[in-house]
């Protein structure tokens, strides 16, 4: 099978997936208790005013009518508007996307820089103290609550040492230095969590590859261990790690809810939490649709990468 | 040569601008939550009032004792029959876009607040039937009946004047680029991110403004907000948690401002709203619950003793507060009342929001009631779900908080008249309704106070709800901030404030 054919087949499967996602997103919203009209009206408006809101936003209509109306608008790029701050949902998403994207990329870099070497060490020293320490490190990364780590970092680096800004986000085009400084701690908090997962998978994949026949052959031929690990084993072991990393990256894109709350970073996470609390259906649906689409596209990219790095895929699919 | 000269000039201008930039006084404020639309007509959240105060002056403001002081209006005057209220405006006031603030602009604002799609000001302005422009700086509001609370309405969001030209141009999107007549003008806002303002050079009281730029950012967690203040990221943070007060007091780099709040925590009972009203109908049961609570102990445990235990809906500090002692605990009497009501093993459910400030007092209350033999079941319910259940009458009782209004009408009429919006209890006592309506129409404060006492004494006897505590407001700031005064409404007024 050619790469082009493979891409077409994958693309064709994306559309039904997106339709399915849109239905799920829309249904889940209906299941959340609490009437959005009441959330909008708050404490002070009377029941007639609530009913007016319900009619105006179409909450009184049957589920399928609301769904088709919404999806019809989404197709032409109209995600509706936030009733709280009156902004168009698409504008909100476009404002937040670069922030979330930058945080996700930085966190992923932290995760990969820590995760892959630690995973390799854990695999190559599996029976020694160093291997156990690497494993422990991975486990700690996964287990430490983001909230706690975030506050501890703020206390250390902002309150005590005064080295890093403790909150907020400055766009890179306004002040690049401040932008980078403001993302160091959030990226570490998010990155260490993902690093733990990557370490464990790298270790598993490396162990499997290191015990395979071709590695034994390489060793038998007298290839230096360093070369065996870095050239022969790592390349193959990285295939599942690439897949995992794209999935993890996709999850980072859906918003790092707690981390964004702690560091007051105006990304998807903070947006979606506020939207759920205020029953801003349009915002929640818009953000989830966009992140789901990004997630699916990332998987598509991962599939292509997989196809490129793994020649067996071509024959298997052919 | 020409290039060299240009280079030198560029470098000089850079240096100069750098010098100017560093001389700017910036006030960075940490907010508790992200504001909704920063449009006086469309905003609902408390935090938005703080943001609006930065750039939208009101016709009147309050002072520390909840009296009214002139701002954009210099004075007000009631007609003999109380059916007309006349404002005299301050001369030579302009909006941030240079438009004049005159009687026409005030008329436009009142009409906008009454009619714009999604307005939250409509109920507040309902008494106004028409507005007359008497002259350039005089405007008269005509009413069907006297409405004593009206002046206080213009000391809040309805009194914040927006530029008619900008409002016309932006419609419901006015909050995206608001234009008012306050000390600072709006620069930019990133939702869930920073909101930036800069000093308005043509502000009518500009000599009193010593800050060049204001930056606001919401940090939801109080501990993180405080850490930001300690690290110098903020100069001032609002709504400091009582549990953090000691820490601020112990820190030489920080200062604390405190003020009694006009808000109060309360429990409402369902006494007549739908199918679940039966349980709490017996006044003796509600009185037994009231008598089982030790309010002082409750605030000591739940709020570090920093709030005040209280049983009224008009907080101390208000002219209308009734100077009587707080209801004492009397477990024996409570038990006796339950016996008389035939409810010796009484069990009821209370909806409580998940926030700490509700959960802890609810748990304290629960253990106090247990001593009278009352089993209170806490049903943790998130805010919107609670609002919905309350509207539908799907509750036996719930704990909540009312931010309070400067005028007593805002804490009484909407709660205790039979069909009003905030009366989720289904409470209806025609005598109370009659008195509250009369109080609303009585302009003379002394006479009004007597009417409120009579109405609220009846309400306190009926006990459709119980006030439990009056909040104290705490703001923490860097010791560099000078001259900041906290008023009972919890807003941040930057007039006179300096940063050294």
B382 and B465 within one domain: yes
Residue A29 within any structural domain of the chain: no
Which chain B positions have a beta carbon within 8 Å of A264's beta carbon?
A: 192-193, 217-220, 224
SS (H, E, C) B132-159: EEEECCEEEEEECCCCCCHHHHCCCHHH
B438 and B402 within one domain: yes
What is the average pLDDT across A76-95? 85
Q: Tell me what pLDDT residue B8 has.
A: 45
Please answer yes or no on whether A166 and B228 come within 8 Å at the CB atom. yes
Residue A313 within any structural domain of the chain: no
What is the average pLDDT across B382-403? 88
Nearest-CA residue of chain B relative to A48? B421
B296 and B418 within one domain: yes
CA distance B120 to chain A (A): 8
Is the Cβ of A281 closer than 8 Å to some Cβ of chain B? Answer: no
Alpha helices in B183-324 (DSSP H): 222-230, 245-250, 283-292, 295-302
| pLDDT bucket at B17, cuts 50 / 70 / 90 | very low
Cβ pairs bridging A and B (under 8 Å): 125
Please answer yes or no on whether B227 and A155 come within 8 Å at the CB atom. yes
Nearest-CA residue of chain A relative to B34? A274
Choosing among B21, B384, B423, which should be mutated to test the A contact, i.e. which has the most A CBs within 10 A?
A: B384
Tell me how far the alpha carbon of residue A227 is from its chain's centroid: 33
Domain boundary among B125, B148, B166: B166
CA distance A212 to chain B (A): 50
SS3 label, residue B68: strand
**Tokens (6 digits) for A135:** 């494993």
Checking if the pLDDT of B138 tops 80, the result is: yes
Q: Tell me what pLDDT residue A317 has.
A: 47
Residue A310 within any structural domain of the chain: no
Given the structure tokens 């607040």, which residue do they identify?
B113
> Integer distance in angstroms from the first to the last C-alpha of chain A?
4
Which chain B positions have a beta carbon within 8 Å of A146's beta carbon?
A: none
B357 and B278 within one domain: yes
User: What backbone phi and psi angles, to 5 degrees, belong to A311?
Assistant: -60, -25
What are B's interface residues with A at a Cβ cutoff of 8 A? 30, 34-39, 42, 44, 118, 120, 123, 172-173, 175-176, 190-194, 217-221, 223-224, 227-228, 230-233, 382-385, 387-388, 391, 414, 420-422
Checking if the pLDDT of A79 tops 90, the result is: no
Residue A16 within any structural domain of the chain: no
**Chain A residues 187-226 within an 8 A CB cutoff of chain B:** none
Choosing among B48, B153, B192, which should be mutated to test the A contact, i.e. which has the most A CBs within 10 A?
A: B192
Q: Is B232 exposed, middle or buried (0-12, 13-18, 19+ CB in 10 A)?
A: middle
CA distance A80 to chain B (A): 14
Please answer yes or no on whether B384 and A34 come within 8 Å at the CB atom. yes
Of A85, A165, A270, the CB nearest to B175: A85
Residue B172 within any structural domain of the chain: no
This prediction's pTM? 0.83
Residue B280 within any structural domain of the chain: yes
Of A83, A167, A274, the CB nearest to B228: A167
B385 and B458 within one domain: yes
Candidates A149, A140, A137; CA nearest to A186 is A149
Q: Tell me what pLDDT residue B150 has.
A: 93
Checking if the pLDDT of A32 tops 80, the result is: no
Of A154, A159, A274, the CB nearest to B192: A274
CA distance A2 to chain B (A): 46
SS3 label, residue B314: coil
Checking if the pLDDT of B73 tops 60, the result is: yes
| pLDDT bucket at B20, cuts 50 / 70 / 90 | very low
What is the average pLDDT across B474-486? 95
Checking if the pLDDT of A297 tops 80, the result is: yes
Of B220, B233, B387, the CB nearest to A166: B233
- Per the prediction, chain A carries an average pLDDT of 83
Please answer yes or no on whether A35 and B420 come within 8 Å at the CB atom. no
Q: Indicate which CATH number applies to the domain containing B285.
A: 3.10.105.10
Of A47, A162, A270, the CB nearest to B192: A270
B67 and B9 within one domain: no
Residue A146 belongs to what domain range? Answer: 95-271
Checking if the pLDDT of B174 tops 90, the result is: yes
B461 and B336 within one domain: yes
Q: Are B259 and B64 in contact (CB under 8 A)?
A: yes
Residue A311 within any structural domain of the chain: no
CA distance B128 to chain A (A): 18
> Would you give the DSSP letter of residue B66?
S
Please answer yes or no on whether B388 and A34 come within 8 Å at the CB atom. yes
Which own/partner pairs from A174-183 qualify as long-range (CB within 8 Å, at least 24 positions apart)?
Answer: A179/A102, A182/A263, A182/A265, A183/A102, A183/A103, A183/A106
| pLDDT bucket at B203, cuts 50 / 70 / 90 | very high
Please answer yes or no on whether A85 and B120 come within 8 Å at the CB atom. no
B133 and B104 within one domain: yes
Of B37, B176, B193, the CB nearest to A84: B37
B216 and B313 within one domain: no
CA distance B384 to chain A (A): 5
> Would you give the DSSP letter of residue B353?
-
Residue B431 within any structural domain of the chain: yes
Q: CA-to-CA distance for A263 and A190, rounded, in angstroms? A: 12
Of A46, A87, A264, the CB nearest to B219: A264
Residue B69 within any structural domain of the chain: yes
The number of distinct structural domains making up chain A is 1
Q: Tell me what pLDDT residue B5 has.
A: 45
**CA separation, residue A48 to residues A182, A263, B391, B394 (Å):** 47, 40, 12, 19
**Tokens (6 digits) for B364:** 């304290």
Residue B113 within any structural domain of the chain: yes
**Tokens (6 digits) for B109:** 């604002």
Nearest-CA residue of chain B relative to A276? B384
Residue B384 within any structural domain of the chain: yes
Q: Tell me what pLDDT residue B1 has.
A: 43
Residue A160 within any structural domain of the chain: yes
Q: CA-to-CA distance for A235 and A241, rounded, in angstroms? A: 10
CA distance B237 to chain A (A): 13
Q: CA-to-CA distance for A163 and A147, rounded, in angstroms? A: 20
Q: Indicate which CATH number applies to the domain containing A221.
A: 1.10.3720.10
Q: CA-to-CA distance for B8 and B13, rounded, in angstroms? A: 8
Candidates B43, B92, B321, B87; CA nearest to B195 is B43
B205 and B104 within one domain: no
Residues in chain B: 500
Q: Is B420 exposed, middle or buried (0-12, 13-18, 19+ CB in 10 A)?
A: middle
Please answer yes or no on whether A274 and B37 come within 8 Å at the CB atom. no
CB neighbours of A202 closer than 8 A, spacing ≥ 6? A115, A116, A118, A119, A120, A122, A123, A237, A238, A241
The number of distinct structural domains making up chain B is 3
Strands B60-62 and B68-70: antiparallel
B386 and B289 within one domain: yes
CA distance A276 to chain B (A): 10
Please answer yes or no on whether A86 and B123 come within 8 Å at the CB atom. no
Ramachandran category for residue B347: left, alpha or beta (phi over 0 → left; psi -120 to 50 → alpha): beta
Q: Is ipTM beyond 0.90?
A: no
**Tokens (6 digits) for B5:** 């000269």
Checking if the pLDDT of B219 tops 80, the result is: yes
Residue B204 belongs to what domain range? Answer: 2-34+192-259+474-499
Nearest-CA residue of chain B relative to A155? B227
- Per the prediction, chain B carries an average pLDDT of 91
Choosing among A38, A95, A98, A275, which should be mutated to test the B contact, i.e. which has the most B CBs within 10 A?
A: A38
Q: CA-to-CA distance for A170 and A252, rounded, in angstroms? A: 19
**CA separation, residue B410 to residues B376, B403, B433, B475 (Å):** 30, 10, 14, 25
B457 and B330 within one domain: yes
CA distance A149 to chain B (A): 12
- Residues A209-266 have pLDDT tens digits of 878 888 788 888 877 878 878 777 787 788 888 888 888 887 787 667 788 888 888 8
Is the Cβ of A97 closer than 8 Å to some Cβ of chain B? Answer: no
CA distance A109 to chain B (A): 24
Q: Indicate which CATH number applies to the domain containing B65.
A: 3.90.76.10
Q: Tell me what pLDDT residue B365 has.
A: 97
């Amino acid at each position: 099978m050619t790469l082009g054919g493979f891409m077409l087949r994958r693309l064709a499967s994306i559309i039904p997936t997106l339709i399915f996602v849109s239905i799920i997103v829309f249904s889940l919203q209906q299941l959340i208790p609490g009437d959005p009209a009441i959330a909008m009206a708050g404490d002070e408006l009377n029941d007639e005013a609530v009913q007016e809101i319900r009619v105006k936003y179409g909450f009184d209509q049957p589920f399928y009518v609301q769904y088709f109306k919404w999806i019809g608008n989404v197709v032409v790029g109209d995600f509706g508007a936030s009733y709280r701050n009156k902004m168009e949902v698409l504008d909100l998403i476009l404002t937040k996307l670069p922030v979330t994207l930058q945080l996700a990329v930085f966190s992923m870099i932290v995760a990969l820089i820590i995760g892959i070497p630690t995973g390799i060490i854990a695999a190559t020293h599996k029976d020694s103290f160093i291997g156990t320490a690497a494993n422990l490190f991975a486990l700690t990364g996964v287990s430490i609550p983001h909230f706690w780590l975030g506050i501890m970092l703020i206390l250390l680096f902002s309150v005590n040492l005064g080295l890093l800004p403790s909150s907020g986000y400055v766009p890179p085009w306004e002040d690049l230095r401040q932008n980078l400084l403001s993302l160091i701690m959030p990226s570490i908090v998010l990155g260490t969590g993902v690093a733990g997962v990557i370490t464990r998978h790298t270790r598993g994949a490396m162990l499997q590859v290191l015990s395979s026949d071709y590695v034994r052959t390489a060793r038998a031929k007298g290839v230096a261990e360093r070369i065996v690990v870095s050239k022969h084993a790592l390349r193959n072991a990285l295939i599942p790690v690439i897949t995992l990393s794209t999935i993890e990256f996709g999850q980072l894109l859906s918003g790092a809810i707690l981390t964004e709350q702690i560091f007051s970073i105006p990304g998807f996470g903070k947006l979606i939490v506020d939207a759920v609390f205020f029953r801003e259906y349009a915002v929640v649906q818009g953000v989830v649709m966009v992140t789901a689409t990004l997630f699916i596209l990332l998987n598509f990219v991962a599939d292509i990468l997989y196809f490129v790095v793994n020649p067996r895929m071509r024959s298997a699919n052919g | 040569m020409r290039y060299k000269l240009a280079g030198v000039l560029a470098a000089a201008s850079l240096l100069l601008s750098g010098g100017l930039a560093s001389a700017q006084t910036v006030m960075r404020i940490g907010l508790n939550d992200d504001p909704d639309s920063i449009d006086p007509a469309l905003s609902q959240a408390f935090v938005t009032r703080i943001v609006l105060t930065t750039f939208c002056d009101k016709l009147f403001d309050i002072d520390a004792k909840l009296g009214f002081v002139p701002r954009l209006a210099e004075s007000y005057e009631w007609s003999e029959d109380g059916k007309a209220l006349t404002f005299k405006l301050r001369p030579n006031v302009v909006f941030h876009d240079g438009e004049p603030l005159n009687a026409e602009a005030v008329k436009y604002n009142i009409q906008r607040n009454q009619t714009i799609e999604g307005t939250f000001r409509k109920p507040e302005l309902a008494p106004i039937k028409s507005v007359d422009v008497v002259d350039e700086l005089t405007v008269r509001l005509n009413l069907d009946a006297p409405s004593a609370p009206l002046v206080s309405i213009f000391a809040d969001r309805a009194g914040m004047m927006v530029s008619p030209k900008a409002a016309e141009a932006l419609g419901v999107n006015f909050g995206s680029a608001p234009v008012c007549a306050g000390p600072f003008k709006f620069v930019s806002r990133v939702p869930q991110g920073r909101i930036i303002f800069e000093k308005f050079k043509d502000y009518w009281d500009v000599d009193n403004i010593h800050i060049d730029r204001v930056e606001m950012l919401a940090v939801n967690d109080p501990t993180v907000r405080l850490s930001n203040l300690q690290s110098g990221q903020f100069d001032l943070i609002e709504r400091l948690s009582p549990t953090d007060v000691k820490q601020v007091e112990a820190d030489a780099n920080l200062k604390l401002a405190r003020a009694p709040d006009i808000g109060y925590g309360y429990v409402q009972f369902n006494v007549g709203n739908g199918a679940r009203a039966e349980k709490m109908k017996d006044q003796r049961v509600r009185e037994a619950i009231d008598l089982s609570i030790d309010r002082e102990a409750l605030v000591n445990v739940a709020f570090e003793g920093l709030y005040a235990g209280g049983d009224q809906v008009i907080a101390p500090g208000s002219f209308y507060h009734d100077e009587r002692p707080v209801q004492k605990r009397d477990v024996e009497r409570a038990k006796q009342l339950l016996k008389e009501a035939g409810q010796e093993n009484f069990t009821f459910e209370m909806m409580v929001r998940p926030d700490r400030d509700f959960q802890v007092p609810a748990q304290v209350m629960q253990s106090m009631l247990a001593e009278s033999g009352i089993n209170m079941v806490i049903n943790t319910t998130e805010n919107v779900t609670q609002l919905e259940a309350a509207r539908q009458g799907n509750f036996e009782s719930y704990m909540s908080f009312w931010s309070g209004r400067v005028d007593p009408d805002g804490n009484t009429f909407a709660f205790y008249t039979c069909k009003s919006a905030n009366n989720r209890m289904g409470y209806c006592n025609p005598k109370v309704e009659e008195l509250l309506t009369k109080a609303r129409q009585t302009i003379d404060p002394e006479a009004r106070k007597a009417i409120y006492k009579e109405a609220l004494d009846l309400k306190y006897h009926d006990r459709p709800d119980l006030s439990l505590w009056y909040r104290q407001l705490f703001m923490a700031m860097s010791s560099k901030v000078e001259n900041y005064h906290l008023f009972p409404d919890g807003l941040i007024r930057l007039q006179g404030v300096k940063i050294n």
